[in-house]
Amino acid sequence: MPANIEDRLARAEAIAAQRGLAFTTLRRQVYELVLAAERPIGAYELLAALAPQRGPVPPTTVYRALDFLVENGFIHRIESKNAFFACCELGEPHEGQFLICEECGHALEIPGTELADKLSHSQPAHGFEVHRQVVELSGICGDCKHSHAHHKP
């Protein structure tokens, strides 16, 4: 397992312990799979990946683990893909802003609250109280764009 994944798992476990949260074996395994995917991954892909380790796991069990990870800021839910992606700023509450490649499926989280603040406090908001905000931008990543440039006749 890559060191970065091990480091992020250790950090997540430390944050959970600090907050008094139960970071169960299943939650750790689900989080590890989301980290390893390096792209938005769906619940049924996670179920399939867990099967060799745990045998058949009920979908509701995985969804509960995903809910825990989302609620506690370890992962984000990518609405347009109905998939999950590892958070870039563990332990720091923030709104998700994502660049999602239409070709390869990779995603990148853009940290920062400026856009979220600007959107939720703009004049057209008319006092609307934002509870959750996810901004998803769809396009072609630099690698795919570069690959297409080299394959053009």
Residue 88 assigned ligand-binding role: no
Residue 87 assigned ligand-binding role: no
Residue 104 assigned ligand-binding role: yes
**Cβ–Cβ contacts within 10 Å for residue 109, how many?**
17
Query: For the chain, how many helices (H) and strands (E)?
Result: 6, 5
Task: Extract the runs of DSSP E, i.e. beta strands, from the chain.
Answer: 75-78, 83-86, 96-101, 107-109, 134-139
Residue 141 assigned ligand-binding role: yes
**Start-to-end Cα distance in the chain:** 40
What are the tokens at 125?
């908001």
Question: Residues marked as binding for Zn(2+)?
Answer: 101, 104, 141, 144
Question: Residues marked as binding?
Answer: 101, 104, 141, 144
